[in-house]
Amino acid sequence: MSRGLNKVMIIGHLGRDPEMRYTPSGRPVATFSVATNRSWTTSDGERRKDTEWFNVVAWNKLAEICNQYLVKGQQVYIEGRLQSRRWEDSNGTKHTSVEVVANEMIMLGDRRSDEEIPDEEPVEDEFPF
């Protein structure tokens, strides 16, 4: 029997404070964004930098913990799985969203003020892949 694997691990900084809400059945859910940076040097010696944003969703007790302790700018480790959602809005336009459904969160580094923009320096890669 063949098995699949859907696992994501990211380390980055929160782009906004978590937003907490509850489903109609009372399940807590928190959403927030995490920015990860990578940098590399091209074959021409030019330094490049790229920021990737991830939408993160946490459920139940983890949602409550994220809502209570995480703040914009804070460095965080998130582990979970990728989930894609598709929907159609009232105008008939189709949308797709990919998010990380978190099952583990570890707070890293110091808290940053709201004015600071996430800007970590990752380990330099020789090639951008």
Residue pair 118/73 in contact by the 8 Å Cβ criterion: yes
Tokens matching residue 120? 């970590």
Question: Would you state the pLDDT for residue 109?
Answer: 80
AA letter at 65: I
Write out pLDDT tens, residues 105-121: 999 986 554 444 444 44
pLDDT > 50? residue 72: yes
What pLDDT shows up at residue 2? 83
**CATH code for the domain in which residue 104 is found:** 2.40.50.140
Number of compact structural domains in the chain = 1
> Is residue 123, in this structure, part of any structural domain at all?
no
In a domain, residue 2? The reply is no
Look at 71 and 128; give whichever has higher pLDDT: 71
Confidence of residue 63 (pLDDT cuts 50, 70, 90): very high
The answer to whether residue 114 sits within a structural domain is no
For residues 123 and 37, the answer to whether their CB atoms sit within 8 Å is no
Residue 92 included in any domain: yes
C-alpha 83, offset from chain centre: 12
53 within some domain: yes
Does residue 24 lie in a domain region? yes
Q: Is the pLDDT of residue 22 over 90?
A: yes
Domain assignment present for residue 51? The answer is yes
Structural domain of 42: 8-108
Degrees, nearest 5: CA angle 15-123-10: 40
Q: pTM for this one?
A: 0.76
Q: Decide: 105 and 77 in contact? Cβ < 8 Å.
A: yes
Q: pLDDT band for position 67 (50/70/90)?
A: very high
Match 């890293």 to its residue by tokens: 108
d(CA 89, CA 93) in angstroms, rounded, equals: 5
Residue 40 lies in a domain: yes
- Read off the pLDDT of residues 75-95 as tens digits, 9 standing for 90 and up: 999 999 999 999 899 999 999
